[in-house]
């Protein structure tokens, strides 16, 4: 059963998903690793975590872009 915690967080068996499609895949036993930025499939070496209460997953390319952006922003300070 899929529970909707907030307007954009779905919970299935204690796991959080950003969209109902990922939650349904989990229920069917299909892989649910999808990049939160580009929606490409995240491999095992992908980054999985949370931004506050939002579950996120990043492929290596989007993670690299995010860290590069943070480093550029830190140089400006």
Predicted TM-score (pTM) of this structure: 0.60
* pLDDT the model gives residue 35: 85
35's CB contacts (< 8 A; 6+ apart) are: 41, 42, 46, 57, 58, 59, 62
Residue 67 has pLDDT above 80, yes or no: yes
Instruction: Give the H/E segment covering residue 26.
Output: helix 20-28
Contact 22, 54 (CB under 8 A): no
pLDDT, tens only, 22-65: 778 777 877 677 888 888 877 766 687 888 877 788 888 888 99
* pLDDT the model gives residue 11: 79
Q: Which domain holds residue 64?
A: 3-76
- Domain count for the chain, please give it: 1
């Amino acid at each position: 059963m899929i529970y909707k915690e907030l307007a954009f967080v779905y919970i299935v068996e204690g796991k959080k998903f950003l969209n109902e499609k990922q939650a349904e895949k989990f229920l069917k036993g299909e892989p649910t690793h999808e990049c939160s930025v580009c929606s490409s499939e995240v491999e095992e070496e992908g980054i999985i975590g949370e931004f506050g209460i939002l579950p996120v997953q990043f492929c290596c390319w989007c993670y690299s872009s995010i860290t590069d952006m943070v480093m550029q922003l830190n140089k400006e300070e």
